[in-house]
Chain A
């Protein structure tokens, strides 16, 4: 397998450093100084409410939008410093699966045409090899090769999502960005697609940035969890740590809601309803301070730093950091 012991010393597959991204018309920061890494073969679950900036991060990685500042390094190379050729080569290594398969597949192309296009675009092999590859990949995702000659509308939504995943995998990417890839599917079909993604992780050793608002789904396949809120990354933890004991108050409330109960001392009953009137102009406080059940005086006056926290009993080398004043006192090594 590709997981060699010396992997820990290698640079991460993807490094995001202080990424900022704004949309001019709204004059609002969609992504606010976000930093995280994805290591080879690992799956990072990026979670947050709608509008938190999750998808914007995914789009920035593919250079579909231009960030205001910050760096995105893929295998140590800045994606935004690349020339056309390098960018093309990189895009072959990073592929995307969207939420709505019926909208992301071309209705006028057969499945085979859809699968061949990336191979032709990147000039991978000759025509025979490309057709073999298409046949092989459609079977990998659990469809019969007769599917190749049919059109997307002849498939159910679950099958369409399998085709979308096949399309993303056909170039043998190193990193797959799955943006709410199972959110529009029924639970039973969602389970089948998650099974498929789990199998791909094991068999191909692929890295995945799995963007979802659904913590229960993230629990099924993520190695690490990152939480975004109003454009900021508030916590990143190994999944087992996150789901047994989330560190940030916002993460705790997210987890409580996902488990179907309202968190203790919950202040934010109306937060979602009034948020739209609020602009995010000031960064002199914690973005979550208005609704935080553990709010202290400092939270309204000073923006918390990102603390790298390591608990005594924890020997996992994976990053575990939280942006919250509660951890100011905890022995912290700054990032």
Chain B
């Protein structure tokens, strides 16, 4: 068996507050092989971004607690690295694409300077070599005038261009794993299509493992083979996209799917949604967190937590799966 590019075992993230413990990520485990893209979907506040930050070790040391039985990058545990060791792998072996390129990029440096800086940090090379690599990275995400883009400041680029430039920055060192946190959420359909296409090509080219975080299942479907559904810090379903869209087994996954607006010839007579609201982390129901909103709920769901059971390569955490 091959070593997965990214393997996360029993990762938890919680806050210690006055009245008690607020758990935002609850014992999640998954792995992604090289060349695969896996989606992590869920509504805002379900712990998706916390998961990403915990994997990268970017959460502040005070107030937030992270525990895991290992976060392995190509078989090497990165959960116990010291800050200097961590800096050496960030950007080189694992990189992140953020949701808001406008705030993630530095306004006072050109794109060329920012991308070169990432490359220089991890690799020796002459000025010309660094510049060559930087321009290659820009070309690889689809810019035909890489020189112009390299000379631009972030504010001179449109939102879509900024996001592509940021992907170029994340891929300049050809990391084994990329975590993309809602990279297309702020963009219109068309720019989104373009960026997903570029990301897909890069992923194939370099055999990168991608953890693609999004609240939008239809976007995840376009780029990922596998998908994990998260709710209130727990993974409820892990499967491949095709099976999820064909027959979701967890009632929450099915509910999420029914919310996606569809373009059909007839205007829908009725808009579907999941009744109720996401509980606050301070007010999580016991048992299955989704039980109060679930149409298939029974007594057991309210008292005990269903484990993520695997069968035929699909995992579902539900006592009464569909």
| B260 to A, closest residue via Cβ | A187
CA distance A49 to B194 in the complex (A): 13
Range, interface on chain B? 35 or more
Is B264 a contact partner of A188 (Cβ separation < 8 A)? no
CA distance A240 to B266 in the complex (A): 6
Interface assignment of A280: CB less than 8 Å from any CB of chain B = no
Q: Of A26-34, A270-278, A303-311, which stretch is located at the interface?
A: A270-278
Interface assignment of A50: CB less than 8 Å from any CB of chain B = yes
CA distance A186 to B222 in the complex (A): 18
| Chain B 202-231 interface 0/1 with A at a Cβ cutoff of 8 Å (1 = within) | 000000000000011110011000000000
B268 surroundings in chain A (CB, below 8 A): 219-220
Q: Of A62-70, A119-127, A189-197, which stretch is located at the interface?
A: A189-197
A257 surroundings in chain B (CB, below 8 A): 189-190, 193
CA distance A36 to B164 in the complex (A): 35
Give the residue of A189, A198, A269 whose beta carbon is less than 8 angstroms from that of B142: A269
| A259 to B, closest residue via Cβ | B263
Give the residue of A157, A198, A254 whose beta carbon is less than 8 angstroms from that of B189: A254
Q: Of A89-97, A130-138, A210-218, A292-300, which stretch is located at the interface?
A: A210-218
Is B267 a contact partner of A258 (Cβ separation < 8 A)? no
Is A243 a contact partner of B43 (Cβ separation < 8 A)? no
Interface assignment of A7: CB less than 8 Å from any CB of chain B = no
Give the residue of A198, A214, A243, A260 whose beta carbon is less than 8 angstroms from that of B193: A260
Interface assignment of B30: CB less than 8 Å from any CB of chain A = no
Interface assignment of A44: CB less than 8 Å from any CB of chain B = no
Interface assignment of B265: CB less than 8 Å from any CB of chain A = yes
Q: Of B58-66, B68-76, B104-112, B272-280, which stretch is located at the interface?
A: B272-280
B218 surroundings in chain A (CB, below 8 A): 216, 260
B216 surroundings in chain A (CB, below 8 A): 187
CA distance A187 to B221 in the complex (A): 14
Is A220 a contact partner of B156 (Cβ separation < 8 A)? no
A156-B278, A219-B263, A239-B267 given as contacts; is B160 within 8 A of A272 (CB)?
yes
Query: Shortest CB–CB separation between residue B161 and chain A, in angstroms?
Result: 6
Q: Of B117-125, B143-151, B294-302, B307-315, which stretch is located at the interface?
A: B143-151
Query: Shortest CB–CB separation between residue B160 and chain A, in angstroms?
Result: 5
Is B271 a contact partner of A274 (Cβ separation < 8 A)? no
Is B267 a contact partner of A51 (Cβ separation < 8 A)? no
Is A240 a contact partner of B267 (Cβ separation < 8 A)? yes
Interface assignment of A255: CB less than 8 Å from any CB of chain B = yes
Q: Pick the most buried of A198, A213, A273: most chain B CB atoms within 10 A of its CB.
A: A273
CA distance A240 to B262 in the complex (A): 13
Is A186 a contact partner of B271 (Cβ separation < 8 A)? no
| Chain B 285-301 interface 0/1 with A at a Cβ cutoff of 8 Å (1 = within) | 00000000000000000
CA distance A221 to B274 in the complex (A): 18
Interface assignment of B29: CB less than 8 Å from any CB of chain A = no
| Chain B 124-154 interface 0/1 with A at a Cβ cutoff of 8 Å (1 = within) | 0000000000000000001111001000000
A156-B277, A158-B277 given as contacts; is B158 within 8 A of A220 (CB)?
no
A215 surroundings in chain B (CB, below 8 A): 189, 263
A219 surroundings in chain B (CB, below 8 A): 261-264, 267-268
| Chain A 245-278 interface 0/1 with B at a Cβ cutoff of 8 Å (1 = within) | 0000000011101111010000001101111110
Interface assignment of A24: CB less than 8 Å from any CB of chain B = no
Is B144 a contact partner of A188 (Cβ separation < 8 A)? no
| Chain B 157-194 interface 0/1 with A at a Cβ cutoff of 8 Å (1 = within) | 11111001000000000000000000000011111011
| Chain B 234-266 interface 0/1 with A at a Cβ cutoff of 8 Å (1 = within) | 000000000000000000000110011111111
Is A190 a contact partner of B188 (Cβ separation < 8 A)? no
Range, interface on chain A? 35 or more
Is B188 a contact partner of A50 (Cβ separation < 8 A)? yes
A220 surroundings in chain B (CB, below 8 A): 261, 267-268, 271
CA distance A243 to B261 in the complex (A): 13
A50-B159, A157-B44 given as contacts; is B262 within 8 A of A273 (CB)?
no
B260 surroundings in chain A (CB, below 8 A): 187, 216
| B259 to A, closest residue via Cβ | A191
Is A194 a contact partner of B261 (Cβ separation < 8 A)? yes
Interface assignment of A244: CB less than 8 Å from any CB of chain B = yes
B197 surroundings in chain A (CB, below 8 A): 262
B278 surroundings in chain A (CB, below 8 A): 156
Is A274 a contact partner of B267 (Cβ separation < 8 A)? no
Query: Shortest CB–CB separation between residue A4 and chain B, in angstroms?
Result: 23
Query: Shortest CB–CB separation between residue B87 and chain A, in angstroms?
Result: 32
Query: Shortest CB–CB separation between residue A230 and chain B, in angstroms?
Result: 13
| A277 to B, closest residue via Cβ | B148
Is B263 a contact partner of A51 (Cβ separation < 8 A)? no
B44 surroundings in chain A (CB, below 8 A): 157, 186
A219-B264, A274-B144 given as contacts; is B189 within 8 A of A213 (CB)?
yes
Give the residue of B158, B164, B193, B277 whose beta carbon is less than 8 angstroms from that of A276: B158
CA distance A89 to B148 in the complex (A): 51
Q: Which residues of A contact B (CB under 8 A)?
A: 49-51, 156-159, 186-192, 194-195, 198, 213-217, 219-222, 239-240, 243-244, 253-255, 257-260, 262, 269-270, 272-277
A-B contact pairs, 29 of them (CB 8 A): A49-B188, A49-B190, A50-B187, A50-B188, A51-B158, A156-B277, A158-B277, A188-B43, A188-B255, A190-B259, A191-B273, A192-B273, A216-B218, A217-B261, A219-B267, A220-B267, A222-B267, A243-B263, A254-B190, A258-B189, A258-B263, A260-B193, A260-B221, A272-B190, A273-B160, A273-B161, A275-B158, A276-B156, A276-B158
Q: Assuming A50-B191, A194-B273, what are 16 further A-B pairs, CB within 8 angstroms?
A: A50-B158, A50-B159, A187-B215, A188-B256, A188-B273, A194-B271, A195-B271, A217-B261, A219-B261, A220-B271, A243-B264, A243-B265, A258-B189, A258-B263, A272-B161, A273-B164
